[in-house]
Amino acid sequence: MVRLESRERPDLAAIKEATERIIHMLRVSKDNCIYIMSAENKPVLYIDPGTEVIFETWDALHGQIASADGGIDSLNWNRVNPATGPVYINGAQEGDILSVRIEKIDVADTGIVLCGSDMGVMGDKLKGTAIKIVPINNDTAVFSDNISIPLNKMIGVIGVAPKGDAIPCGAPDLHGGNMDCKEICESATLLLPVNVPGALLAMGDLHAVMADGEIGVTGVEVAGEVTVIVDVIKNKTLPLPMLINDDYVMTLASDADLDIAVEMAVVNMVEYLSAECGFSKNDAVMLTSLVADVRICQVVDPKKTVRVEFPRIYLQ
């Protein structure tokens, strides 16, 4: 403790500067963005487990579309699906589990939705490109004069450095990535594998509104901020990625073959129930068949993403 003499006064300017510096350290600017998830990415922030961090994010098109009349001919596709980060979590080592609790998602007051030829499920039946600028107000996305859609704010791209080769932010895999799961939203906790020291967490591609499937290749793409609490779980083996909210435990899986993705997510859920929850494998299969829903997160990326939702009411 330093005792101040009566003539000494705290340096308020220095205190303010130090406080602002600390706050800045816990906020990751969207200017720090990546387009591939890789062990080679240089961290932009180092944090301890249990730290709350705010990620500022671009929209999925990196702000390149400002009006419905602009088209996409000049779009730089190398700047699509930027993810803010990566953030290094101190003490996270290969084999650990990264826990990302989503505290809050704030979105901008305008979003973008588009569809067109060679995009999404209907891409071979459309000509040209249609772009709609979507105002966001009163917790709704204003699609048209007579259609306003309640927001379901979610994170499209969230992941860590993969094991092995780098993976574009626009692709999902075991490391997370562009899973486009609408349940990755406020109050949910995403569990991801730690494949490299520090995990190297990054996220982006927020949606103000998106339905399961994302069939047209976009939701309401929007810039914003995500507040998360990041922690590390050691000495635990789980079938990752997994997602937990108040109502469900979910396993997620991605594969170019939708049938294989479904099988992977189901197998992972049964393995979880039998290994962690005390069910025999037969009971786990039967109970999953009775109460768990298989949902399609997205079918527009090279690898499709599926989730299995198991109600927590049936778990201890």
Residue type, 179: M
Give CA–CA dist 8/25, Å, rounded.
30
Where do the domains of the chain lie? 27-234
- Contact call for residues 62 and 20 (beta carbons, < 8 A): no
Distances (CA, A) of 59 to 127, 148, 179, 258, 312: 24, 21, 16, 27, 33
Quick one: average pLDDT of 297-303?
Answer: 97
Segment 264-276, tens digit of pLDDT: 999 999 999 999 9
pLDDT at residue number 113: 97
H or E segment and range at residue 112: strand 110-116
Cα distance from N-terminal residue to C-terminal residue, the chain: 49
Answer yes or no: is pLDDT of 220 > 90. Answer: yes
Quick one: average pLDDT of 68-96?
Answer: 91
The pTM score is 0.91
Q: Say whether the peptide bond before residue 311 is cis (omega within 30 degrees of 0).
A: no
pLDDT at residue number 18: 54
Sign of CA dihedral 278, 281, 283, 286: positive
pLDDT at residue number 66: 83
Residue type, 110: T
pLDDT at residue number 177: 98
Q: Which of 218, 316, 307 lies closest to 264, judged by CA?
A: 307
Q: What is the CA radius of gyration of the chain?
A: 21
Distances (CA, A) of 305 to 25, 188, 281, 298: 33, 18, 24, 5
pLDDT at residue number 16: 60
> 14-23, 55-64, 153-162, 296-305: which has the minimum mean pLDDT?
14-23
- DSSP code for 214: -
The alpha-helical segments, DSSP class H, found in 3-162 are 12-25
Segment 99-109, tens digit of pLDDT: 999 999 999 99
Give CA–CA dist 101/133, Å, rounded.
30
Name the pairing type of β-strands 51-57 and 27-28.
parallel
Give CA–CA dist 116/138, Å, rounded.
29
Percentage of residues of the chain with pLDDT beyond 90: 86
pLDDT at residue number 72: 80
Segment 100-143, tens digit of pLDDT: 999 999 999 999 999 999 999 999 999 999 999 999 999 999 99
Tokens encoding 196 = 């490299």
Residue type, 307: R
Segment 169-179, tens digit of pLDDT: 999 999 999 99
User: Please, which pLDDT band fits residue 2 given cuts at 50, 70 and 90?
Assistant: very low
Bridge-partner residues for 52, per DSSP?
Answer: 229
What are the backbone angles phi and psi of residue 88, rounded to the nearest 5°? -95, 125
> 17-26, 76-85, 235-244: which has the minimum mean pLDDT?
17-26
Mean pLDDT, rounded, of the chain: 93
What are the backbone angles phi and psi of residue 111, rounded to the nearest 5°? -125, 180
Quick one: average pLDDT of 186-215?
Answer: 98
Q: Which of 312, 189, 310 lies closest to 241, judged by CA?
A: 189
The reply to whether CATH 3.40.47.10 applies to domain 27-234 is: no
Answer yes or no: is pLDDT of 149 > 50. Answer: yes
Tokens encoding 173 = 């895999």
Give CA–CA dist 239/2, Å, rounded.
52
pLDDT at residue number 3: 47
- Contact call for residues 117 and 123 (beta carbons, < 8 A): yes
Segment 42-63, tens digit of pLDDT: 999 999 999 999 999 999 999 9
> 63-72, 240-249, 280-289: which has the minimum mean pLDDT?
63-72
pLDDT at residue number 1: 45
Q: Say whether the peptide bond before residue 150 is cis (omega within 30 degrees of 0).
A: no
pLDDT at residue number 22: 52
Side-chain-facing half-sphere of 96: CA atoms under 13 Å? 22
